[in-house]
């Protein structure tokens, strides 16, 4: 089981965050990142240890070199109201993505969800509220899981991502989902910075090592990290990491937020960046890797990967091992 323990200073910050002015929040995080960036240059943005292929790996469908998957966490009303503009941009370039909405943080109309799905996009759930409370205790998680499962069913959603990228792969087995995407290969700047150490999807067995779910870690740096906190003025880091993932034959899964994109041509606010950065990345992928990448929705990656899992009878000893070391689960391929 992956620990959710956080340093005291980090816990205090996220407790006080709702009352800290936005510009001060960003200044504090930038100050914290300056020192950490120098300490983690050997594992971020690329940790070369994460490129190892799973045992028995036979590649992506249609002989594609790598998978390219787009996801969006919609954190507040500002982001929700930009979803269709972002969907229009992506579809105009030939791409589709998954939009993860917060279940109770703001209204998400059935009309919006249906419009996105009808246009070939996916809708997922990004927790009940956008804070750190989901993993405060196992009892709290269990209580919220009931509400989360109810919303997943009502929305017809099969994917989940935790707020703030907190994760506990053991507890997440209580959710009625096909895949989770609350982890990453390497990202030392996250509140819970433990990476899963792979750029490939992997399987987490269910209770008693039953069906379980697929874990789809994001593998490209998040937009907020690059353009708001680090104040990058180019997409060079995205390109470098993408090129490396393509060379390894892995999964390039990106999480960008409509909340932080300046989509209407106005001057970006302190917590925004020009949408042109994202558009440039999509154009880069489409031109440089034309015909070489498998671009599908997260649910399609999950379905493909689970369909390739080796079915086997789990002995009692295997079950005990599985229950005690969920974070070591790996994909076995036919």
Classified as helix, coil or strand, 281 is helix
Classified as helix, coil or strand, 18 is helix
pLDDT tens column, 134-144: 999 999 999 99
Burial class (CB in 10 A: 0-12, 13-18, 19+), 14: middle
Confidence at 210, pLDDT banded by 50, 70, 90: low
CATH number for position 268: 3.20.20.370
pLDDT tens column, 155-201: 999 999 999 999 999 999 999 999 999 999 999 999 999 999 999 99
Residue 334 maps to a domain? no
Tell me phi and psi for residue 268, to 5 degrees: -60, 140
Per-residue pLDDT, averaged over 20-27, amounts to 83
Instruction: Give the number of domains in the chain.
Output: 1
Confidence at 7, pLDDT banded by 50, 70, 90: low
- 333 beta partners: 309
pLDDT tens column, 231-278: 999 999 999 999 999 999 999 999 999 999 999 888 999 999 999 999
% pLDDT > 90, the chain? 74
Residue 138 maps to a domain? yes
CA distances from 276 to 26, 107, 273, 289 (A): 22, 28, 8, 19
How remote is the C-alpha of 188 from its chain's centroid? Answer: 15
211 close to 195: Cβ distance less than 8 angstroms: no
Confidence at 11, pLDDT banded by 50, 70, 90: low
Name the E strands within the chain.
Answer: 66-74, 98-101, 122-125, 159-160, 179-180, 202-204, 213-215, 251-256, 261-262, 273-274, 293-295
Residues near 5 by beta carbon (within 8 Å), at least 6 away in sequence: none
Asked whether residue 328 carries a pLDDT value surpassing 90, the answer given is: no
Residue 292 maps to a domain? yes
Classified as helix, coil or strand, 39 is helix
Q: Any idea what the Cα angle at residue 225 is, between residues 269 and 180, rounded to 5°?
A: 115
249 close to 60: Cβ distance less than 8 angstroms: yes
What integer pLDDT is reported at residue 323 of this predicted model?
A: 44
Residue 235 maps to a domain? yes
- Model's pTM, two decimal places? 0.88
pLDDT tens column, 69-99: 999 999 999 999 999 999 999 999 999 999 9
Residue 130 maps to a domain? yes
Round to whole Å and give the CA distance between 261 and 273: 5
Residue 193 maps to a domain? yes
What integer pLDDT is reported at residue 29 of this predicted model?
A: 84
Give me the half-sphere count of Cα atoms (radius 13 Å) on the Cβ side of residue 178: 17
170 close to 206: Cβ distance less than 8 angstroms: no
Residue 333 maps to a domain? no
pLDDT tens column, 91-124: 999 999 999 999 999 999 999 999 999 999 999 9
Choose among 318, 49, 88, 56: nearest CA to 186.
Answer: 49
Asked whether residue 320 carries a pLDDT value surpassing 70, the answer given is: no
Round to whole Å and give the CA distance between 72 and 285: 18
Residue 1 maps to a domain? no
Round to whole Å and give the CA distance between 58 and 293: 15
Domain extent for 87 = 8-328
């Amino acid at each position: 089981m992956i620990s959710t323990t956080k340093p005291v200073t980090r816990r205090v910050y996220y407790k006080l965050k709702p009352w800290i002015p936005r510009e001060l929040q960003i200044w504090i995080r930038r100050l914290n990142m300056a020192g950490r960036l120098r300490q983690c240059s050997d594992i971020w943005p690329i940790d070369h240890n994460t490129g190892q292929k799973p045992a028995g790996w036979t590649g992506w469908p249609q002989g594609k070199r790598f998978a390219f998957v787009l996801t969006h966490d919609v954190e507040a009303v500002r982001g929700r109201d930009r979803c269709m503009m972002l969907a229009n941009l992506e579809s105009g370039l030939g791409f589709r993505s998954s939009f993860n909405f917060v279940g109770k943080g703001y209204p998400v109309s059935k009309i919006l969800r249906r419009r996105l799905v009808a246009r070939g996009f996916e809708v997922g759930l990004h927790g009940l509220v956008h804070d750190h409370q989901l993993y405060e205790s196992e009892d709290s998680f269990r209580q919220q899981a009931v509400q989360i499962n109810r919303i997943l069913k009502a929305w017809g959603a099969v994917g989940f991502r935790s707020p703030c990228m907190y994760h506990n792969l053991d507890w997440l087995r209580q959710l009625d989902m096909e895949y989770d995407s609350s982890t990453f290969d390497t990202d030392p700047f996250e509140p819970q910075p433990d990476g899963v150490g792979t750029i490939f999807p992997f399987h987490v067995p269910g209770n008693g090592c039953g069906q379980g779910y697929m874990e789809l870690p994001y593998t490209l740096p998040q937009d907020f990290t690059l353009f708001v906190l680090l104040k990058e003025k180019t997409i060079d880091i995205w390109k470098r990491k993408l090129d490396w993932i393509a060379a390894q034959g892995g999964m390039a899964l990106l999480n960008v937020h409509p909340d932080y994109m300046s989509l209407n041509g106005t001057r970006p606010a302190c917590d925004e960046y020009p949408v042109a950065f994202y558009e440039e990345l999509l154009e880069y992928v489409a031109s440089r890797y034309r015909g070489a990448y498998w671009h599908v929705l997260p649910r399609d990656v999950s379905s493909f990967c689970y369909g390739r899992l080796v079915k086997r009878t789990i002995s009692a000893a295997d079950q005990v091992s599985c229950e005690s070391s969920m974070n070591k689960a790996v994909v076995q391929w036919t």
